[in-house]
Structures are given as structure tokens and as C-alpha cells.
Amino acid sequence: MSLSIRDEEEYYYKTISVDDSTDLEGEVSSFVQDLEVHSESLNCQITNDGEYVTSFEIDGFDDLKLPLSLIEDKRKVTLELKCEKKSDRVLRIINPCAFVNYLAEKELSLQLKFWLNQLSDKYDSVLIEGKDIDLTSYKEHSTAEFIERHKKDTIVSLIGVKMNVCFFDFLLVLFDKFEILSAHLLEMRTILCLCLISRSCNLSLQTFEFDGDNQIILTNIERDFIINKGAAVYLVFKWAYNDERLSARIGIINQVISQSKSVTNFFKISVINVLDSVYQIYIKEDFEQYIEVQNRVSDATLNLCNQINGAVSASRATIKQSIFVIFSYFFSIVVFTAVDKGKMENVFTLELTVLSSVFLVAGFLNVWISNNEKNKSVRIYKHQLDEIKIRNDVFLSEKEISDFFYSKSLTESISVAESKSYLYVSFFLLTILMELLWTFHLVKN
């Protein structure tokens, strides 16, 4: 008797090639009894010498007696027993070895997508060997945030996938008693770690590129690499992704690999000591540059803050001067035209009213132009702030960028610069003067 098992997400198959020694009733009864709890339906397909005979739903061996009795020579008969799994939010793994083999047939990118995206999206628990394992208790580690912020969209096949290595850690704890499944999850974790520390990768070709033209091609090396070097690859990943300066750390990993005789021999537990030493040298060399950048950014933001304040002050001074000149003009008219000549009516003649109106319109234009010039200057200063932020975000952390570019003084300066209250008050005063001027003119005449 020849027997093959296939365990997929939605279906479970047991294929039996019948011979004289086959306990057909025992095999079928065992299939029905074992899978009844998992099944939406159970089916059987019979072929004879490779040719299709019939297919039907089964509840037990009795359903097969009649179809089999019509076949004289049963030594060429093949039975395909099929279980359609229940469509609830439970992943039912009936045979761990067969399930892992089913996943291994897929490309690496599809295997990673299954574990990282589809598993949590489609299922709340996993039922395996009678044990119901809950998946909803997963909580992201801090490294997930670093990966999300710095992950490489150059891995085209993984765009949109949450590349959380910590989710594999979570699964490994849950499935620690299932050796075959644990070994597969360790392999997936190692491959994902290689994706995140390499310069580039091609999962279809199972190739990972590092500096110095170094490559890891999984198809060209022994499978022992994944088993024996997986822990070291994971340690190197954790070393790289343990803080915000991971770009520098990944650069150091690739620098050390470029100096190594063999990229596969690079991955060993003791390499962390080497990486720490190189990183300390990098920090010392980079510290002076960091201080210089920090001081330069501080001076630049303070200077732009002063320039914004200067633009606001200059604009307001021009507006105040315009208002003062206009009020002085009207005061002069009242003193020299009305008081000096003793006739208040002279202030509101048509000629003088038109002349005063022209003067007020000029005031309106002066205020509007001054405010426009201020807005242009402030807009340019804000663009400069954005450019400085972009140029220096490699050297500064997010908190430092926030301290420099969202400080109280700078935020308040920009807020005052963007406020239009001063403009509205000026226009209001000039409008009131215009209305009073023409009202008095019309009343007196």
C-alpha cells in the first residue's frame, strides 16, 4: 500500500494506492473518525488505473462498498480522501509535517506573507494535535516600530507586509513543543532577518546582497546554514535594530562582512563583540560631527526665528507708520482748515474729501503690500526650515528634531507671523475713517 498526506489551509488529503495488503476499511474509518471534528464535508474520489471512476461524500466505509464492488481488479485503484476544513477563524493543522511541506512548496515571499500577514488577519487561533493555541495575545516589541520606520521598500515582494521579526518570536514560544513547525518558523525568522540586514535581496532567487560583492545564495549552500547560523543571524539583527541609529549599525555590519573572507563564516555568536568594537570607534569619530551638526542646526533655527520676528516687526512698523501718517493728515486738516479759518465745513468739501479718500486708498495699499511682503518672507523662511530638517534628519533623532523645529519660541513666532489680526484691525480703522469722511461730507452738503 502506498499512502500520501497533504495538509493545506482549507483542505486535508489522504491518498491511498490499494494493494492486497491494504486494510481499506481501517484506513477509511480512521480518516472519517479523526477528521469529523475538523470537517465541513468529507469526500472520496476513486480512480482505476489512472482513470476517474466516481466521487462522492462519505460518512463511513459503507459508502465505498458499492463503487468498489464494481471494480474487479482493485490493485490499480487509488482513493483520494478529502476533508474540507471548517471555515471559522481557526487554522486547523492536522499533520504538522505535511502542513510545513505544503508551505515549503511556495516561494519564500509567499511563506513570509502567510505567517506575517495572513495568519493574524484570517485566524484567531491554531488547532494542532488537539491543542487550541490563541494568537490574539500578541503585542508588538519596540523593534517593530524601528522596522516599520526604516524598512526597505526595495523588497518588492514584501511591500505592504508587516516585517515584524518579533511576531516569529511570539510564534516560536507558542509552538515550542512542535519540533517540525518550530524548525520551519526559525527558518522563516532567519530569512526575514537576512532581508532586513542585507543591502538588497531577491527572495525569488533566494539571494541576499552585502557590501564587497558578498552574497548569500540559499540554493547554493547547505541547508545547515539556516539551522546552524540562524541564532547568529538573529543576534546580528537584534544588534542592528536595538535603537534609532540602525542605518549606521547596518552599515557597520556590511563593512565588517566586506572585510571577511566568507560571508557565511561572518555569522557566529562572537561577531557581536567585533560589531560593538567597530561601533564604538564609529561613535567616537562621529561624535564631533554630531556636535557640529547639532550646533549648526541650533544656530540656523534660532537665526530663522529671529528673521521671522524681524519680518513681522518690520511689517507691523510699516502698518503703524501708515496709520500714524493718515491720522496726522486728518489732524492737520482739522487744525489748519477748520480751526484756523473758523469753518468746520471746509474740512468736508468735495475736493478735500476726494483727496482724503485717495490718501486713505494709498494707506490701504501700503498696508496690504507690507503684509504681503511679510507673508512671502515667512513662507521662504519656513521652506528653509523644512530643508534644514530634511538635510539633518540622518544625524539627529526625532526628539532632537522636535526640540529644534517645534520649540516654543519658533512655534510662537510662526503663529504670530501667520496671524491676520493686525491686518484686520488696520483695515478696520481705515474703513471707519473712510465711512466717517464720506458721511460727514454728505451730511454737511
CA geometry: angle 334, 335, 337, nearest 5 deg: 65
d(CA 383, CA 145): 29
Whether residue 82 contacts residue 44, with contact meaning beta carbons closer than 8 Å, is answered with yes
* Local structure of 107: helix, strand or coil: coil
pLDDT digits (tens, 9 = 90+) for 164-195: 888 999 999 999 999 999 999 999 999 999 98
Compute φ and ψ for 57, nearest 5 degrees. Answer: -80, 150
pLDDT score at 82: 92
Res 85: pLDDT: 93
pLDDT band at 223 (very low <50, low <70, confident <90, very high): low
Cα separation of 171 and 138, whole Å? 9
What is the distance between the alpha carbons of residues 90 and 135, in angstroms, rounded to a whole number?
10
**C-alpha cell at position 50:** 489512472
Question: If we measure between CA atoms, which residue out of 83, 93, 73, 91 comes closest to residue 41?
Answer: 83
The grid coordinates listed for 174 are: 507558542
**Cα separation values, 83 from 25, 59, 93, 296, Å:** 17, 11, 12, 69
Q: What is the pLDDT of residues 114-142, one digit of tens each?
A: 999 999 899 999 999 889 999 998 887 77
**Is pLDDT of 280 > 70?**
yes
Tell me if 405 sits within 8 A of 301, measured CB to CB: yes
| Cβ atoms within 10 Å of 350's Cβ, excluding its own | 9
245 SS3 class: coil
pLDDT in tens, 290-318: 667 777 877 888 888 888 888 888 888 88
How many CB atoms neighbour CB 358 within 10 A? 10
C-alpha dihedral sign at 337, 341, 345, 351? negative
- Which three cell numbers, joined as nine digits, stand for 363? 494707506
What global pTM score does this model have? 0.63
Asked whether the beta carbons of 143 and 169 are under 8 A apart, the reply is: no
Answer yes or no: are the C-beta atoms of 86 and 165 closer than 8 Å: no
CA distance 253 to 246: 10
Q: Is 17 in contact with 2 (CB distance < 8 Å)?
A: yes
pLDDT for 154 beyond 60: no
Amino acid present at 236: V
Which pLDDT score is estimated for 445?
63
Residues 150, 154, 157, 161, Cα dihedral to 10°: 10
Most distant CA pair in the chain, distance: 137
CA distances from 22 to 74, 158, 161 (A): 10, 46, 47
